[in-house]
Amino acid sequence: MELVPVTVGLASRAWDQQHIDLASAADLVGGATTSGFTAAVAGPAARFIGDWERFTDALGTRSEGQADGLREVIRTYLDTEGVVASRFLLQAYVEERR
Amino acid sequence: MNDRVVIPANPPEAPELDVEPETIRGFARSLRSASAQIDDLGTFVGGSARIGDWQGSDAAAYHQDIAPIGHRADAMSLALRSVHQQADDHADEMDALVEERTDLEQRRGHAMQWISGLWQRSRDLGEDEVPALEADAARCQTACDTLADDVAGWLRRVRASERRMLQTFSRVATVEQVEKKYGGVPDPADEPLSRMPRGGMPEEVRAWWDGLTRDEQLAIISASPGSIGNLDGVPAWARGEANETSLTRDVAAWEMLEFNGSITDDERGWLENARSAQDALADTRSRVDPVTGEPLVSQLYLYDPAAFDGDGRVAVSVGDLDSAQNVSVSVPGLTTEMTSIGGNATNVRDLYEASRSMHPDQTTATLAWIGYDAPSGLDSGRVGFEGAATEGGSRLADTLDGLRASRDDPAHLTVIGHSYGSTTMGHGLTDHDVDVDEAVAIGSPGLGANAADVGDLDVPDGHFFVGRNSDDPVADLGDKGWVNKGDALGAGLGRDPAEDDFGGRRFQAEDVARGGPPDWWVDPTPGVPDTIVWEHSNSLDMHTGYYDPDTESLWNMSQVVTGHTGDEDLMRADHVHDPWYDGPRDPEADADIERPSTRQRVP
pLDDT (tens digit per residue) in B291-300: 999 999 999 9
CB contact under 8 A, A25 and B256: no
Cα separations in angstroms, B528 against A95, B536, B597: 72, 22, 20
Determine contact, residues B497/B446, Cβ cutoff 8 Å: yes
Kind of pairing, strands B313-318 and B364-370? antiparallel
User: What is the model's pLDDT at position B557?
Assistant: 98
Residue of chain B minimizing CA distance to A25: B34
Determine contact, residues B502/B486, Cβ cutoff 8 Å: no
User: What is the model's pLDDT at position B487?
Assistant: 47
Task: Evaluate if residue B436 carries a pLDDT over 90.
Answer: yes
Q: What is the dihedral of CA B96, B97, B99, B103, to 10 degrees?
A: 130
Cα separation, A9 vs A94, in Å, equals 8
Q: pTM for the complete prediction?
A: 0.85
Residue of chain B minimizing CA distance to A5: B54
Domain spanning B297-510+540-590: CATH 3.40.50.80:
no
pLDDT interval class at B528 (50, 70, 90): low
Determine contact, residues B266/B310, Cβ cutoff 8 Å: yes
A10, A12, A19, A29: best to mutate for the B interface, most B CBs within 10 A = A29
CB contact under 8 A, A66 and B262: no
Q: What is the dihedral of CA B191, B197, B203, B209, to 10 degrees?
A: 20
Min Cα distance A14 → chain B (Å) is 8
Cα separation, B575 vs B558, in Å, equals 21
Task: Evaluate if residue B246 carries a pLDDT over 50.
Answer: yes
Residue of chain B minimizing CA distance to A20: B253
Q: Which residues of B touch A3 (CB under 8 A)?
A: 54-56
Q: Is B75 on the interface with A (CB under 8 A)?
A: no
What is the SS3 assignment for B415?
A: strand
Rounded average pLDDT over B28-44: 95
Task: Evaluate if residue B377 carries a pLDDT over 90.
Answer: no
Instruction: Specify the CATH number for B21-182; select among 1.10.30, 1.20.1260, 2.60.40, 1.10.3470.
Output: 1.20.1260
CA B494 to chain centre: 32
Nearest alpha-carbon partner for B414 in B319, B295, B334, B291: B319
Give the number of A-B residue pairs with CB atoms closer than 8 Å. 147
CB contact under 8 A, A18 and B162: no
User: What is the model's pLDDT at position A1?
Assistant: 63
User: What is the model's pLDDT at position B195?
Assistant: 94
CB contact under 8 A, B23 and A33: yes
DSSP annotation of B483 reads S
Cα separation, B445 vs B597, in Å, equals 28
Give me the numbers of helices (H) and strands (E) for chain A, helices first please. Answer: 3, 0
Domain ranges of chain A: 6-91
Rounded average pLDDT over A44-49: 96
Q: Is B162 on the interface with A (CB under 8 A)?
A: yes
Q: Which residue has the higher pLDDT, B513 or B373?
A: B373
Beta bridge pairs of residue B465: B440, B505
Domain ranges of chain B: 21-182, 297-510+540-590
Task: Evaluate if residue A44 carries a pLDDT over 80.
Answer: yes
Distance between first and last Cα of chain A: 30
| Sheet containing B300-304, strands listed edge to edge, beginning at the edge strand earlier in sequence | B300-304, B313-318, B364-370, B326-331, B412-418, B438-442, B464-467, B505-507
User: What is the model's pLDDT at position A90?
Assistant: 80
Cα separation, B235 vs A74, in Å, equals 48
| pLDDT digit string, tens, across residues B85-129 | 999 999 999 999 999 999 999 999 999 999 999 999 998 888 888
Q: How many CB atoms are located within 10 Å of the residue B52 CB?
A: 9
Q: Which residues of B touch A70 (CB under 8 A)?
A: 62
Task: Evaluate if residue B517 carries a pLDDT over 60.
Answer: no
Long-range contacts of B90-96 (CB under 8 A, 24+ apart): B90/A41, B90/B24, B90/B161, B90/B164, B90/B165, B91/A36, B91/B21, B91/B22, B91/B24, B91/B25, B91/B28, B92/B21, B93/B157, B93/B161, B94/A38, B94/B17, B94/B19, B94/B21, B94/B24, B94/B161, B95/B21
Q: What is the dihedral of CA B488, B493, B495, B499, to 10 degrees?
A: -130
Closest CB from B53, B166, B252 relative to A5: B53
Q: Which residues contact A86 (CB under 8 A, 6 or more apart)?
A: A4, A5, A6
Tell me what ipTM this predicted complex has. Answer: 0.93
Averaged confidence pLDDT in chain B: 91
Rounded average pLDDT over B545-569: 96
* Region of B534 on the Ramachandran plot (φ > 0 left; ψ -120 to 50 alpha; else beta): beta
For chain A, the C-alpha Rg in angstroms (whole number) is 20
Q: Is B59 on the interface with A (CB under 8 A)?
A: yes
Min Cα distance B221 → chain A (Å) is 17
Q: Which residue has the higher pLDDT, B207 or B488?
A: B207
Q: What angle do CA B25, B30, B31 make, to 5 degrees?
A: 95
Q: Which residue has the higher pLDDT, B385 or A16?
A: A16
Cα separation, B420 vs B581, in Å, equals 30
Q: Which residues contact B198 (CB under 8 A, 6 or more apart)?
A: none
Kind of pairing, strands B300-304 and B326-331? unpaired
Cα separations in angstroms, B45 against A15, B23, B48, B175, B408: 9, 34, 7, 19, 40
Q: Is B256 on the interface with A (CB under 8 A)?
A: yes
Closest CB from B30, B54, B162 relative to A5: B54
Q: What angle do CA B586, B592, B290 make, to 5 degrees?
A: 110
Cα separation, B154 vs B260, in Å, equals 49
Q: Which residues contact B212 (CB under 8 A, 6 or more apart)?
A: B192, B220
CA atoms within 13 A on the CB side of B434: 30
% of chain B with per-residue pLDDT over 70: 92
Cα separation, B474 vs B446, in Å, equals 9
User: What is the model's pLDDT at position B140?
Assistant: 97
Cα separation, A77 vs A70, in Å, equals 11
Cα separation, B520 vs B240, in Å, equals 41
CB contact under 8 A, B169 and A44: yes
Determine contact, residues B320/B369, Cβ cutoff 8 Å: no
Q: Is B176 on the interface with A (CB under 8 A)?
A: no
